[in-house]
């Protein structure tokens, strides 16, 4: 659909790196946005990783600027936004795709891990909005996509209290931004991902897989009503939709991308 085109849209994708040549959600979003015509600014705290994302985009004929920034550091994000504006003169789309998942309930989890989860998962989104919104307000146009999780509304079997709570806070931040700036042509929505098959997930679960990663991943596939976890490309397509004019009247919502898992009981 032409309405889903991102042609010429300057899109800041935060968390666009990945492990090696693997493709996680952020890298897939950068590639998908570029394929739809966006001028991508890929940001990650690992410069080598985000440079690899840039190389992949350029290899497909897209346009991409790679920048290093820690999403939890205000000065880093301010500099990334400034470099984006210096290069392109505008900023049309913001994608917040950062998150960490410390394991443990309130008793087991260290206070420092709780604080770090909120700094990375929530403060990063707040800081990105703080530095991006002035440019969008000048344009009277902009789309923000926050990458959240099904865990923010439905607690997973594993004790991820900091992750669940911080992603729920991200949802609230997005709703507040959506209502405050709707009259200025700015939309803010949440992409609420369920189980997505990513290199990061495989790496994270490897240490907990008693009978091997493949067996564990097979069980995760079986948990989905569709019989399979989602792919990074399906997550990226949903993000591109929310960023596009096809979603022009969608604001302040949470788009579930989970194969129907949120409807499963037991």
More confident residue, 225 or 44: 44
**What amino acid positions are annotated as catalytic residues?**
163
How far is the C-alpha of 234 from the C-alpha of 265, rounded, in Å? Answer: 24
Q: Give tens-digit pLDDT for 123-159.
A: 999 999 999 999 999 999 999 999 999 989 887 667 8
Whether the CB-CB separation of 176 and 146 falls below 8 Å is answered with no
Domains defined along the chain, listed by start? 2-194+230-255 (3.40.50.720)
Q: What is the pLDDT confidence band of residue 202, given thresholds at 50, 70 and 90?
A: low
> pLDDT tens digit string along 103-112?
899 999 999 9
d(CA 172, CA 178): 10
**Amino acid 207: pLDDT:** 60
For position 172, what pLDDT does the model report? Answer: 98
Report the C-alpha gap between 231 and 89 in whole angstroms: 33
Strands 186-193 and 142-149: parallel
| Per-residue confidence band for 261, with pLDDT thresholds at 50, 70 and 90 | confident
pLDDT digits 0-9 by tens, 25-54: 999 999 999 999 999 999 999 999 999 999
Note the pLDDT of residue 21: 86
Across 5-14, 190-199, 257-266, the highest mean pLDDT is recorded for 5-14
Q: Per-residue pLDDT for 80 more than 50?
A: yes
């Amino acid at each position: 659909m032409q309405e889903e085109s991102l042609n010429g849209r300057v899109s800041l994708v935060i968390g666009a790196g990945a492990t090696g040549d693997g493709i996680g959600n952020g890298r897939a979003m950068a590639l998908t946005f570029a394929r739809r015509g966006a001028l991508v600014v890929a940001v990650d705290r690992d410069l080598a990783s985000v440079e690899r994302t840039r190389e992949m985009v350029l290899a497909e004929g897209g346009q991409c600027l790679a920048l290093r920034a820690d999403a939890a550091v205000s000065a880093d994000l301010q500099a990334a936004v400034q470099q984006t504006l210096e290069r392109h003169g505008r900023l049309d789309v913001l994608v917040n795709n950062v998150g960490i998942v410390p394991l443990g309930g309130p008793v087991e989890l260290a206070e420092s891990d709780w604080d770090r989860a909120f700094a990375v998962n929530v403060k990063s989104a707040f800081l990105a909005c703080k530095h991006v919104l002035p440019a969008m307000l000048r344009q009277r146009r902009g789309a923000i996509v926050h990458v959240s999780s099904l865990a923010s509304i439905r607690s997973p079997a594993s004790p991820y209290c900091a992750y669940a709570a911080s992603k729920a806070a991200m949802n609230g931040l997005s709703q507040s931004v959506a209502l405050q700036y709707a009259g200025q042509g700015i939309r803010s929505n949440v992409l609420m991902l369920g189980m997505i098959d990513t290199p990061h997930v495989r790496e994270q679960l490897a240490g907990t897989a008693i009978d091997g990663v493949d067996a564990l991943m097979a069980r995760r596939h079986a948990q989905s009503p569709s019989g399979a976890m989602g792919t990074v490309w399906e997550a990226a397509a949903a993000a591109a939709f929310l960023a596009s004019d096809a979603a022009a009247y969608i604001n302040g919502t949470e788009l579930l991308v989970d194969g129907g898992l949120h409807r499963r009981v037991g």
